[in-house]
Amino acid sequence: MNIKVWWLYLLACADGRTYAGIALDVTARFRLHVAGKAAKFTRANRPLRVLGAQPFTSRSQALQAEHALKQLKKPAKLQWARRWPHAGD
């Protein structure tokens, strides 16, 4: 049985803001953001890099964590990213 790992990720954008989302493959999703084929927010605010990514065993858990992360102020989001550094490119 192949168990999917869902990832909550945080991006740094060119305008100084951050973007949080979930994906099965953070690196592939980041490429879509950079190409302007993912979220409306990242089409208008170019993503620069993945700041952090945290694994979850279900989409539901990842969505709940995404909601919680989005409620945080930027310093707390950056602290989260330091706790969950992204190992990809």
DSSP string covering 39-65, please?
Answer: -HHHHHS-EEEEEEEEEESSHHHHHHH
pLDDT of residue 18: 97
pTM over 0.85: yes
3-class secondary-structure state, position 15: coil
CATH 3.30.830.10 describes domain 6-83: no
What pLDDT digit, counting tens, does each position of 15-70 carry? Answer: 999 999 999 999 999 999 999 999 999 999 999 999 999 999 999 999 999 999 99
Going by C-beta distance under 8 Å and a sequence separation of 6 or more, which residues neighbour residue 17? 45, 74
Would you kindly state where each structural domain of the chain is located, as residue ranges?
6-83
| Pairing outcome for strands 47-56 and 6-13 | antiparallel
